[in-house]
């Protein structure tokens, strides 16, 4: 039996140019859910390895998204070709970057990791320019150089600790994974199914990919001996930072547009640093704060991403 054809590409939907109070609330909620993800990862790392954390968050997040999808009367993606593309997206946009970030947080404070993840928009711009989807203007070039300079300042503060330098590089590679997946999603997946259907398919695919890998690499976890803190951290990471965050993100994009939705880029590091400082007693050094400031200024200069490109919800 031949597979059904992919659904037709959907036309763009008009969005509001200004933020209503409910839009501000959605923006703050989304920033909080993604910003707190770094705290949840830090708590889960006390008893779980990075791969099991990814398996847990994708499993929980996939179930949450699937439940929302079914409650809204929608179905799963159709067609083998679309599923293969979603599996690729789940690997590059979810499984690999999240594993890299969790691995890096074994050596980096959660707040610093959140600061480094702020370069996702500049990484996306760089990759999009390399494949001819974006044009590098002098303003954007200055932003890219400032953001890279911020990363260099952070690395320079840890140059005597090779493990931390490798962890910083792992986070930077994770942002490049998000960037590549944004380009891939735009060219290969966008418009072939509703956004929530795509998100559900990619997260479930990431869970299916990650689970056996975690079992083989890190062994079977002692689930019955895990503390409530660890279980709660994984559950919240999956339900909020992976499941509900996708729903809020696409709702916000539908209401205010993709460009306005990227304002979360500036708020997520603030949430991550505040949570690490207040709840984990983390203290960031002068180089980390200075580098983070350069990164945010660089993003401000470079982040004029057209709605046609849009951000990828990667946190």
Per-residue model confidence as pLDDT tens digits over 22-43: 888 999 999 999 999 999 999 9
Q: Say which residue, 69 or 289, is predicted with more confidence.
A: 69
Q: Say which residue, 31 or 164, is predicted with more confidence.
A: 31
**Average pLDDT over all residues of the chain:** 84
The residue-averaged pLDDT of 211-230 equals 93
Q: Which residues span the domain enclosing 268?
A: 37-302
Sorting pLDDT into bands at 50, 70 and 90, what band is 206?
A: very high
Tens-place pLDDT, residues 241-256: 999 998 898 888 888 8
Domain contains 17? no
Q: Using an 8 Å Cβ cutoff, are 206 and 58 in contact?
A: yes
Sorting pLDDT into bands at 50, 70 and 90, what band is 68?
A: very high
Domain contains 184? yes
CA distances from 294 to 8, 105, 202, 289 (A): 43, 21, 33, 9
Q: Say which residue, 44 or 302, is predicted with more confidence.
A: 44
Phi and psi at 239, nearest 5°, equal -70, -40
pTM: 0.85
26-41 burial code (b ≥16 CB/10 A, e <16)? bbebbbbbbbbbbbbb
Domain contains 7? no
User: What DSSP assignment string belongs to 258-281?
Assistant: HHHHTTHHHHHHHHHHHHHHHHH-
Domain contains 308? no
Give the integer Cα–Cα distance in Å for 271 and 214: 29
Burial of 180 per CB tally in 10 Å (0-12, 13-18, 19+) = buried
Domain contains 252? yes
Q: Which of 77-91, 111-125, 143-157 has the lowest mean pLDDT?
A: 143-157
Domain contains 73? yes
* Number of domains forming the structure of the chain: 1
Sorting pLDDT into bands at 50, 70 and 90, what band is 147?
A: confident
The proportion of the chain whose per-residue pLDDT surpasses 90, expressed as a percent, equals 43
Predicted local confidence at residue 133, as pLDDT: 74
């Amino acid at each position: 039996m031949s597979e059904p054809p992919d659904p037709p590409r959907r036309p763009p939907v008009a969005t509001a140019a200004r933020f209503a109070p409910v839009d501000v609330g959605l923006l703050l909620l989304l920033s909080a859910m993604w910003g707190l993800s770094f705290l949840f990862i830090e708590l889960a790392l006390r008893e779980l390895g990075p791969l099991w954390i990814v398996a847990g968050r994708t499993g929980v997040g996939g179930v949450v998204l699937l439940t929302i999808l079914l409650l809204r009367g929608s179905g799963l993606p159709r067609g083998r070709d679309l599923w293969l593309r979603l599996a690729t997206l789940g690997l590059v946009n979810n499984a690999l970057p999240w594993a890299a970030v969790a691995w890096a947080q074994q050596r980096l404070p959660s707040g610093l990791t959140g600061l480094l993840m702020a370069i996702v928009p500049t990484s996306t711009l760089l990759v999009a320019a390399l494949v001819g989807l974006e044009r590098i203007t002098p303003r954007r070039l200055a932003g890219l150089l400032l953001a890279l300079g911020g990363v260099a300042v952070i690395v320079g503060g840890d140059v005597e600790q090779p493990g931390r330098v490798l962890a910083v590089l792992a986070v930077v590679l994770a942002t490049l994974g998000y960037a590549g997946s944004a380009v891939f999603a735009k060219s290969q997946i966008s418009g072939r199914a509703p956004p929530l259907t795509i998100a559900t398919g990619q997260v479930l695919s990431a869970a299916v990919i990650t689970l056996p890998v975690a079992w083989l690499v890190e062994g079977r976890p002692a689930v019955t001996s895990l503390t409530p803190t660890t279980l709660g951290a994984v559950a919240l990471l999956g339900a909020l930072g992976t499941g509900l965050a996708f729903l809020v993100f696409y709702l916000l994009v539908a209401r205010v547009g993709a460009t306005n939705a990227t304002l979360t880029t500036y708020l997520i590091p603030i949430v991550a640093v505040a949570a690490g400082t207040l709840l984990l007693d983390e203290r960031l050094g002068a180089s980390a704060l200075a580098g983070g400031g350069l990164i945010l200024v660089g993003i401000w200069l470079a982040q004029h991403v057209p709605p046609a490109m849009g951000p990828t919800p990667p946190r």
